[in-house]
Amino acid sequence: MVDHSRFSGDPEFMMSLAKGLAVLRLVANTQGQISIAEAARRTGFSRSAARRCLYTLSQLGYVAWHNEGFVIQNEHYSLGSNFVGTGSLASRATPILERLRDELGESCSLGILDGDHVRYIARAQTSRIMSINLYAGSRLPLCVTSMGRVLLAGCDQPMLDEYLGRTSLTPLTGKTVTDPRRLLTILEGVKRDGYAIVDQELEIGLRSVAVPVESSGRVIAALNIGCAASRIPIEEMLTRFLPRLRKASEELRA
């Protein structure tokens, strides 16, 4: 229940903005979708006020209708997670990533969809020197990263078509996939197999493997492990890294 009564006499306080933020916070904290009636019940707002808040947030792209309720938009999950505080996805992922890093000796990350990029929201990095320096807040193109491809594979077809229509598949190395039809085939395999491997398409010498993190049947984030191609063959990534990544994903979802 949200109580803004203490601000009722403050002429500078925007009650409508406060209600909108309260509803956005509620959607961000909710696992799965939330209906108008449930939003009204949990905030204490009238049904019409809750409906107007959700409508406005959806028109601005912060939430979206999914099945029978509203969900936070993936590209705004980082905004939503700021409201969640210590219970946020990033906070819960950090000890899991650190344990995975210590177990495997490789850097591990959690990323979310941010427009046409994957945004790193949590990372456990090794002390090993690598030519690419990543941290929470880093953004990389979706099409050339393992986490990006996992997130793309979780999009519906209209969103994917829109992305490919506006995106130039620029070659970053000689291994970068630049054919949209080939990328679509790769994404179909990612969706079918439940993981993505990118081998030196972003940077020569860098390999990574990623798996989805799901909630209520949709991909909300991706977990990955990055390593040097000179040290770790792809077969080892599949046999040693992938099972542990999947276990970490299940732990985070639980």
Domains of the chain: 5-72 (1.10.10.10), 83-253 (3.30.450.40)
Q: How far is CA 140 from CA 18, 46, 161, 168, 250, in A?
A: 33, 42, 20, 14, 25
User: Is the whole-model pTM more than 0.95?
Assistant: no
Nearby residues of 143 by Cβ (< 8 Å), 6 or more positions away: 149, 152, 167, 169, 177, 183
Would you give per-residue pLDDT tens digits along the chain (254 residues)? 788 888 888 888 999 999 999 998 888 766 567 899 999 999 999 999 999 999 999 888 888 887 678 887 754 554 544 444 333 788 888 999 999 999 999 999 999 988 788 988 888 888 765 545 677 778 899 999 999 999 999 988 888 888 888 888 999 999 999 999 999 999 999 999 999 999 999 999 999 999 999 987 889 899 999 999 999 999 999 999 999 999 999 998 87
Cβ atoms of residues 151 and 222 within 8 Å: yes
